[in-house]
Chains A and B, each alone.
Chain A
Amino acid sequence: MATATAALLDVRHLGMRFGGIVALDDVSFTARRGEITAVIGPNGAGKTTAFNCITGFYRPSAGGLHLTHADGRGFALAAMPGHLIARRARVARTFQNIRLFAGMTALENLLVAQHAPLMAATGLGVLAILGLGRYRAAERRAIDKARMWLERIDLLARADDPAGALPYGAQRRLEIARAMCLDPVLLCLDEPAAGLNPRETAALDALLLGIRDQGCSILLIEHDMGMVMRISDHIVVLDHGRKIGDGTPAEIRADPHVIAAYLGEDDESADALARAAAP
């Protein structure tokens, strides 16, 4: 298989239960390298649970998660401690409800994400306190990288403002930039377009396509179907913890199971139908 379509993340028979509640039941799919893979489904379908399993916040009850880097190194994510999934396996994520360090500046947020390389340059912290060692150069590189990302998300002018004081859309972009400062091979985005206006969504489209084209694959949870159809290369549909669809955007749009799940569950669609029926 060509490298462009090689499997990056292989999800095999993933199961997650909380007591008697089955959140994920035998879900299998593949996210390929260099693609944007969208995970969609009605509320409560298990999308965020799947994300939490992949990024190490939950330990799956069943099944396996296998990540393969471009150099052939493999990682069994289900068995790794949470922080090593980000550091070694290079899987970064954002959160549905934004989790920035609100009391720290945008720049500080991006520097915290580069903690591992910076810490390695401090010589166990002692040399850095004394101002010795390679720390100065390492910090300059980290700031340059942060500056590059701030420029890319159009926040350079607000680098020294606290993250909590930024507008909502800017916070969403900053959280993506913070995740990208880990140099991930897989970026997991949990509803990045939620609460954005159409112009901000269009800018987000461009940002995500740019990230994909520079070689970082994306796993995307999103309710904005317009955006999902525009930018995804591959879509996985979940409903009640089970996979009910898997294919290209065109295939998913025509899939009767998916249409049934959405028409049956989506409140907005039901409201629209009800309004159309009323005189």
Chain B
Amino acid sequence: MTNQGSPLRDAFLSALVALGLFAPMVGLQTHVGAHGIALVPRPLAVASLVGAVFVLRLAIRLWQGRRPAAGMSMMAGAAAGRIALAAGRARRFLVPALLALALLMPVVASRSTLDLGVLVLTYVMLGWGLNIVVGLAGLLDLGYVAFYAVGAYSYALIAQATGLGFWSCLPAAGALAALWGITLGFPVLRLRGDYLAIVTLAFGEIIRIVLLNWVSLTGGPNGISGIPRPTLFGLRFTMTDEPGTFAGFFHLAPSSAHRLVFLYYVILALALLTNWVTLRLRRQPLGRVWEALREDEIACRSLGINITTTKLTAFAVGACFGGFAGAFFATRQGFISPESFTFMESATVLAIVVLGGMGSQLGVVLAALVMIGGPEMFRALADYRMLIFGLALVVMMVLRPRGLVTERKPSVSLGGAARAIPAALIAEGRS
């Protein structure tokens, strides 16, 4: 950003681009009148926006001109670096604080906030599951939603066919998802980077389209309804207090909040299980080899590591947790249809992993809060909330292209505290 002609000319060009963008987007408003929809021009709004862009651009250029050595992006980068450093110091308190908050949520939060919490935790769990595949093993998977769908439909179909409850079906849902992970893994293992991404993307779509068209099994677009809700050691959550229900057993007034709180703790426990297994695996040979695979596949082969089985295990473990999350989704909703398992879901979960910082468990939590909680929080801003959200993501990618939490903690050390490894050295698995 050094050689762009005079600041005035630059500001004028920016204003011109703004005019081109805002004239159709902001300048025309549809208005429902007596004779159908009419277009109402809003020249004043456009003019003020274009003027703001002109002034802002001019100000930035003049400010840059005053300090030629330190450009805007460098200053911002340094600021981001300081933030990261502070975050590193705060990490020790951040994790217990977040955990305590998560545990106390049902006590302090309102119903709608708790509902949002369940949603965020579902995505945290999906993010942690995908983090195994993308963040640790470095295999770019754009079809993670397929395993989510397999888990949800497995639970729904098994429960309908056998009458078993959520807890009996959960392992089966995870196992079936893992099986599909291996099934997908076999043919695509020789692919890398972009090619792998394309095949996994296609796999996600195939699963969705099969669910949509296999009407006799899945109900097609009508989905499956009446999926059994989860029970607490056999106690059902209903609006009555007859024997065998939660309210009846504990002599409480029946309330729909009980089930919500229970669902919240179920997904919290499932998510923490995912996290625990991942953290344990990272310190085991298997997890270490996943990371080695991300760093250098050819070196792994020269060390006698079977790349095929290593990739398969990463796919299977990641898929298994996706399946658990899917089963939970099915039991929470009570109804599933292929519409819930579109590519958008895969993209959201991948965005959470990338925004969080690939391979970082804490990053996934922060990113899920931002990505899922953010748009909900700003509902008051109506139409502008997605615009602001998109802008925030772009700013993020400029300031911290490697995600929120970028460094990597060594899995083992020779005495003393393990020092974090800076992001610049870590491969992203696109070799």
Contacts and interface: CB of A to CB of B under 8 A. Distances in A.
Contacts of B412: 105, 107-108, 111, 143
Contact of A105 (B281, B284, B410, B427): B410
Nearest to A82: B301
A105 B288 CA distance: 11
B425 A113 contact: no
Nearest to B359: A103
Interface in A100-120: 100-105, 107-108, 111-113, 115-116, 118-119
B137 to A, nearest CB: 13
A105 B285 contact: no
Given A86-B302, A95-B302, A111-B412, A101 B285 contact: no
A263 B134 CA distance: 51
B291 A104 contact: yes
Contacts of A128: 280, 284-286
B425 A118 contact: no
A69 to B, nearest CB: 15
Interface in A166-211: 178-179, 182
B296 interface: yes
A179 B416 CA distance: 26
A179 B419 CA distance: 25
B199 to A, nearest CB: 23
Task: Give the interface residue-count category, chain A.
Answer: 35 or more
A217 interface: no
Contact of A116 (B280, B304, B421, B426): B304
A129 B278 CA distance: 9
Interface stretch (A13-21, A27-35, A156-164, A233-241): A156-164
A75 interface: no
Contact of B292 (A82, A101, A118): A101
A158 to B, nearest CB: 10
Output the residue of A82, A102, A115 with the most chain B CB within 10 A: A115
Contacts of A55: 302
A256 interface: no
A264 interface: no
Given A125-B281, A125-B284, A129-B277, A105 B301 contact: no
Output the residue of A55, A104, A125 with the most chain B CB within 10 A: A104
A143 B414 contact: yes
Nearest to B298: A99
A83 interface: yes
A243 B220 CA distance: 67
Output the residue of B300, B416, B422 with the most chain A CB within 10 A: B300
A93 interface: yes
A86 B303 contact: yes
Interface in B289-307: 289, 291-292, 295-296, 298-307
A84 interface: yes
Contact of A112 (B281, B288, B410, B426): B288
A36 interface: no
**Interface of A (DSSP majority class):** helix
B172 to A, nearest CB: 18
A122 interface: yes
Nearest to B414: A159
A97 to B, nearest CB: 10
A262 interface: no
Nearest to A135: B284
B303 A104 contact: no
Contacts of A178: 303
A162 B304 contact: no
A134 to B, nearest CB: 13
A165 B291 CA distance: 17
A99 B286 CA distance: 20
B298 A162 contact: no
Output the residue of A56, A113, A143 with the most chain B CB within 10 A: A113
A92 interface: yes
A102 B296 CA distance: 9
B408 interface: yes
A83 B306 contact: yes
Nearest to B410: A105
B48 interface: no
A147 interface: yes
B281 to A, nearest CB: 7
B281 A99 contact: no
Contacts of B291: 101, 103-104, 108
B110 interface: no
Contacts of B73: none
B414 A108 contact: no
B419 A93 contact: no
A86 B302 CA distance: 6
Given A83-B307, A129-B284, A160-B416, A112 B425 contact: no
Interface of A: 55-57, 82-87, 92-93, 95, 99-105, 107-108, 111-113, 115-116, 118-119, 122, 125, 128-129, 135, 143, 147, 150, 156, 159-162, 164-165, 178-179, 182
Give the 4 A-B residue pairs with the shortest CB-CB distance, closest first. A103-B426, A86-B304, A87-B304, A101-B295
Given A57-B302, A100-B296, 12 more contacts: A56-B301, A82-B301, A83-B306, A93-B302, A101-B296, A104-B292, A115-B304, A115-B305, A129-B281, A150-B414, A160-B418, A179-B303
Interface of B: 277, 280-281, 284-286, 288-289, 291-292, 295-296, 298-307, 313, 408, 410-414, 416, 418-419, 421-422, 425-427
19 contacts: A83-B301, A85-B304, A86-B302, A87-B304, A93-B302, A100-B299, A102-B427, A103-B291, A104-B291, A104-B421, A107-B414, A108-B410, A115-B288, A119-B286, A122-B286, A129-B280, A135-B284, A160-B418, A182-B303
